Amino acid sequence: MIDARFFMARRSLLIVAAVLVAFAATLFVLGWQSAGNPGKGQGLSYSSEPVGGDFTLTSADGPVALKGIRGSVVLLFFGYTSCPAACPTTLTTVKEALARLDGKEEDRVRVLFVTIDPERDGAQKLKEYAAYFHPNIIGLTGSKDEIADVADQYGVLFFREEVPDSALGYSFLHDTRIRLITPEGAIGETFSHDTTPEEMAGRIRFYLSSGSGRR
């Protein structure tokens, strides 16, 4: 006879799955509704078809313009320094991917870590946070509208969630993918959260050697 606890556990898992699906659908709808004015005043950004393009944001060492680092492969990632898991995990993957490149290849890669929490992430704090992972990672900030505009250019979704009972008071739900920008400044491809360092290094090497070709 099958233990009744099996059915109870299975039912609980189905309920959890249903809740997660509903939550994801809600985020999608919110993003779609805000597409006409993405991110402004809502902490939300969404673009159905990212177009990419140049932008300028602020680092601890001054303005950083995407067009100023043409010739390099750029990895673009949006997150925040208080992120408990996704951001440090992703940046560790990037660090391990860069370690698999030779010195000349590594010199031609820049990683732009754009904060989605400019209220807490000042330029100096971002610099120190990024340096913990790799010297080629540049922490960038700007006004809320500037960050939302860049996020919309690259199809990045993020949402501020109020958590009044927490020490910080709020957190973020955000896109954990990395956008690869080719040496010519175009969107090459997007790395998902489960991309391995070996896979990432291989794709970076491809774009360094053959330009903006797509697979």
Q: Which residues of the chain have pLDDT under 50?
A: 1-2, 6-47, 212-215
pLDDT (tens digit per residue) in 98-135 = 999 999 999 999 999 999 999 999 999 999 999 999 99
Return the sign of the alpha-carbon dihedral for residues 72, 100, 103, 93.
Answer: positive
Q: Token pair of 157, please? A: 């979704």
Say what the pLDDT of residue 2 is.
45
Q: Rounded CA gap, 115 and 89, in Å?
A: 16
Secondary-structure class of domain 56-210 per CATH: alpha beta
Say what the pLDDT of residue 211 is.
58
Whole-angstrom CA distances from 109 to 83, 135, 140, 160, 183 are 24, 11, 16, 30, 9
Q: Rounded CA gap, 172 and 116, in Å?
A: 8
Residue 28's nearest CA partner among 171, 149, 159, 194 is: 159
DSSP 48: S
Amino acid at 58: T
**Structural domain boundaries in the chain:** 56-210
Q: Are 44 and 147 in contact (CB under 8 A)?
A: no
Say what the pLDDT of residue 6 is.
40
Q: Rounded CA gap, 215 and 209, in Å?
A: 14
